[in-house]
């Protein structure tokens, strides 16, 4: 049996996440306190009490989801459980790197706060947008759709998640044009309720800011392999500069989640545990491999 721990990104947040475990585990309580100390403010209050408007501000969402994922991972670790490989979707890659020993938790909390701020500041509200394209399995068709709809603006695949489910991002006008053109390609499109066009070239300035912050952070050798978003390839013992470069590129390049899942299947992964709030990622795994053995931390099925 080979087990992958996968860590969710933005969209899985909810007010009160992790609260069920606060009274059950000193490790969870300690993790929330460490996050507060790292930021010099009460992130835990926003996680536990909201309001949702504050939690969904990306500068809060990112360290909040990281905190919950790391808290859950620490519970698993205390139970003597661990993965054979880790991966995280977008923001979740930071959780994966903490749990693989590459990043210190406090550093990751500060980095994800800065990442959220930089991503939002890179593009004024109303300039960018994102949409999910459903029903087109050939990514080349979606790439051509982006070219046809761009008309001199930015538009590109931002998340290749599962066969038939790709997210695009760019200037709002270009996204709107794509939503019209996709009908001729026998697909459907749905605009996403997001505050910025994540994982596209418009976010390049955020990558510069993140790179400067990462230059001051120590990256340790990983204890297990991981699969970076920007390559989707099983990676063993990457050097510190490679890990940092992957995180910088990730800001303005597509999340290759379908490739990530396929590379893990090819390496023999047959058990998947989503470590964080919700069950978004195991749902994606099931769409790729219907017979996959998928569990979530919150279901406590890992106790079996």
Residue 221's contacts (CB-CB under 8 Å, 6 or more residues apart) are 101, 102, 237
Is position 271 annotated as part of the catalytic site? no
- Report the 3 state secondary structure along the chain: CCEEEEECCCCCCCCCCCHHHHCCCHHHHHHHHHHHHHHCCCHHHHHHHCCHHHHCCHHHHHHHHHHHHHHHHHHHHHCCCCCCEEEECCCHHHHHHHHCCCCCHHHHHHHHHHHHHHHHHHCCCCCEEEEEEECCCCHHHHHHHHHHHHCCCCEEEEEEEECCEEEEEEEHHHHHHHHHHHHHHCCEEEECCCCCCCCCHHHHHHHHHHHHHHCCCCCCCCCCCECCCCCCCCECCCCHHHHHHHHHHHHHCCECHHHHHHHHHHCCCCEEEECCCCCHHHHHHHHHCCCCEEEEHHHCHHHC
Catalytic, out of 12, 89, 199, 252: 199
What angle is formed at CA 225 by the lines to CA 68 and CA 97, rounded to 5 degrees? 30
Cross-strand bridge partners of residue 296:
274
Is position 89 annotated as part of the catalytic site? no
Catalytic, out of 90, 95, 195, 263: 90
Q: Is the dihedral of CA 122, 110, 46, 56 positive or negative?
A: positive
The residues assigned a catalytic role are 90, 199
């Amino acid at each position: 049996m080979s087990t992958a721990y996968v860590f969710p990104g933005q969209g899985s947040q909810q007010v009160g996440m992790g609260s069920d475990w606060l009274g059950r585990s000193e490790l969870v309580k300690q993790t929330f306190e460490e996050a507060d100390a790292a930021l010099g403010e009460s992130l835990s209050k926003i996680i536990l009490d909201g309001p949702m408007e504050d939690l969904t501000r990306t500068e809060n969402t990112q360290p909040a989801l990281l905190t919950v994922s790391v808290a859950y991972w620490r519970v698993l670790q205390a139970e003597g459980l661990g993965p054979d490989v880790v991966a995280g979707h977008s923001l979740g890659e930071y959780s994966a790197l903490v749990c693989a020993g590459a990043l210190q938790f406090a550093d990751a909390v500060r980095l994800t706060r800065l990442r959220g701020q930089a991503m939002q500041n890179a593009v004024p509200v109303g300039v960018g947008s994102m949409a999910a394209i459903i029903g087109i399995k050939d990514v080349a068709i979606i790439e051509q759709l982006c070219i046809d709809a761009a008309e001199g603006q930015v538009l590109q695949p931002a998340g290749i998640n599962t066969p038939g489910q790709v997210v695009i991002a760019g200037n709002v006008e270009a996204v709107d044009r794509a939503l019209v053109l996709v009908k001729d390609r026998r697909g459907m499109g749905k605009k996403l309720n997001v505050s910025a066009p994540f994982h596209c070239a418009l976010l390049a300035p955020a990558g510069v800011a993140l790179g400067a912050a990462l230059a001051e952070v120590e990256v340790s050798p990983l204890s297990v392999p991981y699969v970076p978003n920007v390559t989707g390839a099983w990676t063993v013992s990457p050097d510190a500069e490679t890990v940092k470069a992957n995180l910088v590129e990730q800001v303005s390049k597509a999340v290759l989640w379908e490739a990530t899942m396929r590379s893990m299947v090819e390496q023999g992964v047959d058990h998947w545990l989503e470590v964080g709030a919700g069950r978004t990622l195991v749902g994606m795994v099931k769409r790729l491999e219907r017979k996959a053995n998928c569990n979530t931390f919150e279901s406590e099925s890992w106790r079996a």
